[in-house]
Structure formats: C-alpha cells, structure tokens
C-alpha cells in the first residue's frame, strides 16, 4: 500500500512521513478515525514506508524487496492482528489472527477500506462479534522473541484495537512499555472510548479526519467508477465512509433501498403512523447489528443533507434531485435547532446497538424521539 492509495488525510500523511525522515518514530502509535476514513490503509502505507529501503520524501519506492513483499502484505517483519471469531473450522480449539491471516490478506488486498462487518461476512460469521484475544498477544510476544528478519523496522499492525479484550490488552502492556528496538506497533481504532487507559497512555495518538463527500467522489472515480452522479449519491449516503460508498457504487440498488427506508421512516415518524413504524421495525430487526449501525449513520448523513437543502436550496445535491418532493416538504421540519438533537439520538442508538440493545425496543424508542424533535420544529410555524 502506498500513501497515494489512501484517500485524503494529507496532513496526517505528512506528519507520518516526517516522523520517518526525522527518525522520530514513536514505538507505539494509534490511528483513530471513523469507519471508512482509512486508518487501516494508512497504517499499511506507513508500515511500507518505514520498511522501504529506497524511500523518497513522499513515498515508498514500490520496487525494493521490502516493498514487493509489502505489496502482498507478506513481509516476514509485518505482523497483522485483527478481530475474528470461531468459524466452523476451528471449533473447540484456541485460535489467533495467525490462523486467519491468509484470508485477511485476501480481504484487505481486495478492499483495504473494508469494515468489520464486511470482514466477518467474508469469514462467513457475520452474526458473531469479532475479538482480539489473548492468543494474539501471545503470538506477538512469541514473534518479538526472535530477531527481525531483514527490515529496518518490524511492524505490528493491530486493526480495530478496541476489539482487544482486557486479558489481551494486559498481556501487551509490558512490551508496549519496553519494546524491542526498531519495533513499531501501529494500532488502529474507530473509537478509543472503551480502550484501557493503560494502553492509551502508552501510545502516540493520531486522528484521521472524516472524509468529505468530494474526497470520496474523487476516490470512487479513481477506483474505476465512471458515473459521476452515482458517485456523488453514494458519497452522500456513505457519510464519510469510503468503504460504504464503494459498496453502494457496486450495488446501486442498495442505494435506493436505503433512501426509501429513510423516507418511509421519516414520514412515519412525523405522522406517528404506528403500523408503518412497526413494519420498519421488523425490517430493522432482521438486519445484522453492523447493518443497523450503518443505516443509522446513513440516516444522519441524509438528515444533514436535508438541512443543507433548507439552508441553500440551489446547491446541487443528488439525493435532493431524485427525491425533490419529499425533501421540499420534509426540510421544513429540519432546522439547526433540532438537528443536534436528531444526530445525538441516532448516535446514542448506535451506541446501544453496539451493546446488544434489543433492536425492536430501540427502534421504537428512537422513532418516538425523532417524532418529538420533528414536531418541535413543526410547532414553531
């Protein structure tokens, strides 16, 4: 992976390059960014740059023996740690990332912006949670007890490190405190909220920015997307998540399914049509947990765009063009006054989904809250 394969994040890329050029590479770093902002591809590009024997000031060379191995994510001094769970094949046995690494490479090479849900689906265990377990930490310590093979830096990339359980995290503390020379831990995470303070205090944290719609469109076009208005719509729905935008691009029907769900739901909330809410609630319950979270994020993105329309009706926005009638009516009930409340409610719902809230109850409660916030704006008129 090259820095140029990572969309946006120019400021952070520069900071990471400089750390190498100035030989001030912190031995444990954490890249924190929202889903689809690119913390994994950025970590991999940084690792490749660190290990390259002929880097320029901006990019790894791509041709040295290290880069060639990195290109396939097969460098012996690169260790990949990631969430996973039991599949049918490893029932009853201990397992670590090592047992899944061939499939992980395959999935990441196919789409470095993949989400946890995509990865678990790839393994055929989309209804399970993924975790980083104590066997992973043991594997890391085991590898570190050997000398590095050849690279200047040995790199351990820990993808979605918030999925590390306490036992696994505790086992790593000592090595994070006193790592072997020229060993770099690159953790990525979407949120540091539930991470052990003892880990956080030992890492240098970098924050990725949420990707703009324009950056996502550029990325989709570079990725081979030819339909620019489709790309704009996908970017708008994906709300900063490039991986999701790419999925939309490959599956245009899912775009209309999402927009239709959103429109039906908002109408039902506004009119308090309980029978419609109940139908949507059943539909919502059937989606997997990650899909539910995606949908809430997309709803937030769509609401933001409805508000933008209200503020600047002449701006060109793809969803707006296709759903003009709905947006014109609905935008009267969205204002800066209730927007914050709406986004907070969606965020809170997402937080509770993560913690196994009952989807039917959650969806109904959320619909009531949204309804109240929409009414609040309506009453002003």
List residues binding Zn ion (CB under 5 A): 52, 54, 60-61, 64, 67
Nearer to Zn ion, 81 or 151 (CB): 151
Nearer to Zn ion, 78 or 168 (CB): 78
Residue 158: strand, helix, or coil: strand
From the CB of 192, what's the least distance to Zn ion, in Å?
Answer: 32
| Residue 116 contacts residue 107 (beta carbons within 8 Å) | no
From the CB of 51, what's the least distance to Zn ion, in Å?
Answer: 8
Nearer to Zn ion, 59 or 126 (CB): 59
Nearer to Zn ion, 52 or 151 (CB): 52
What is the distance between the alpha carbons of residues 17 and 50, in angstroms, rounded to a whole number?
9
From the CB of 156, what's the least distance to Zn ion, in Å?
Answer: 20
Nearer to Zn ion, 62 or 341 (CB): 62
Residue with tokens 């969806």: 363
What is the distance between the alpha carbons of residues 326 and 338, in angstroms, rounded to a whole number?
19
SS3 of the chain: helix, strand, coil, percent, to 5: 60, 10, 30
From the CB of 142, what's the least distance to Zn ion, in Å?
Answer: 28
How many residues are recorded in the chain?
381
Query: Rounded to an integer, what is the distance from CA 262 to the centroid of its chain?
Result: 21
What is the distance between the alpha carbons of residues 272 and 378, in angstroms, rounded to a whole number?
13
Report the side by side order of strands in the sheet with 28-32: 78-81, 154-158, 183-189, 28-32, 204-207
Nearer to Zn ion, 61 or 200 (CB): 61
Nearer to Zn ion, 60 or 338 (CB): 60
Q: Which residues of 326-350 are buried (b: 16+ CB within 10 A; e: fewer)?
A: bbeebbebbeeebbeebeebbebbb
Nearer to Zn ion, 71 or 128 (CB): 71
From the CB of 29, what's the least distance to Zn ion, in Å?
Answer: 21
DSSP notation for 208-225? PPPPPHHHHHHHHHHTT-
From the CB of 56, what's the least distance to Zn ion, in Å?
Answer: 10
Q: What angle do CA 39, 41, 42 make, to 5 degrees?
A: 60
Angle between helices 252-271 and 359-379 in degrees, nearest 10: 60
From the CB of 55, what's the least distance to Zn ion, in Å?
Answer: 6
From the CB of 68, what's the least distance to Zn ion, in Å?
Answer: 8
């Amino acid at each position: 992976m090259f820095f140029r394969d990572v969309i946006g994040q120019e400021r952070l890329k520069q900071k990471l390059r400089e750390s190498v050029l100035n030989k001030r590479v912190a031995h444990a770093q954490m890249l924190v960014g929202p889903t689809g902002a690119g913390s994994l591809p950025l970590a991999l590009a940084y690792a490749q740059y660190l290990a390259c024997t002929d880097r320029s000031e901006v990019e790894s060379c791509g041709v040295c023996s290290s880069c060639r191995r990195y290109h396939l994510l097969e460098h012996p001094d690169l260790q990949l740690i990631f969430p996973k769970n039991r599949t049918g094949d490893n029932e009853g046995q201990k397992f670590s990332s090592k047992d899944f690494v061939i499939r992980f490479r395959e999935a990441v090479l196919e789409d470095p912006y993949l989400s946890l849900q995509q990865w678990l689906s790839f393994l055929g265990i989309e209804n399970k949670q993924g975790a980083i377990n104590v066997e992973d930490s043991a594997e890391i310590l085991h590898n570190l007890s050997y000398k590095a093979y050849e690279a200047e830096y040995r790199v351990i990339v820990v993808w979605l490190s918030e999925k590390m359980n306490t036992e696994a995290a505790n086992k790593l503390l000592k090595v994070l405190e006193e790592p072997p020379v020229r060993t770099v831990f690159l953790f990525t995470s979407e949120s540091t909220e539930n991470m052990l303070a003892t880990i956080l205090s030992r890492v240098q944290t970098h924050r990725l920015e949420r990707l703009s719609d324009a950056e996502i469109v550029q990325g989709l076009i570079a990725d081979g997307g030819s339909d620019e208005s489709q790309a704009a719509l996908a970017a708008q729905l994906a709300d900063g998540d490039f991986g999701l935008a790419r999925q939309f691009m490959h599956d245009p029907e899912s775009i209309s399914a999402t927009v239709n769900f959103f429109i039906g739901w908002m109408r039902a909330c506004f009119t308090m049509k309980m029978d419609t809410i109940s139908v949507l609630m059943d539909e919502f319950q059937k989606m997997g947990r990650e899909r539910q979270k995606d949908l809430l994020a997309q709803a937030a993105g769509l609401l933001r765009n409805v508000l933008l329309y209200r503020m600047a009706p002449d701006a060109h926005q793809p969803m707006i063009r296709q759903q003009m009638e709905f947006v014109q009516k609905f935008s009267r009930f969205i204002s800066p006054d209730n927007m914050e409340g709406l986004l907070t409610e969606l965020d809170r719902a997402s937080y509770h989904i993560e913690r196994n809230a009952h989807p039917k109850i959650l969806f109904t409660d959320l619909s009531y809250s949204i309804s109240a916030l929409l009414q609040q704006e309506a009453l002003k008129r």
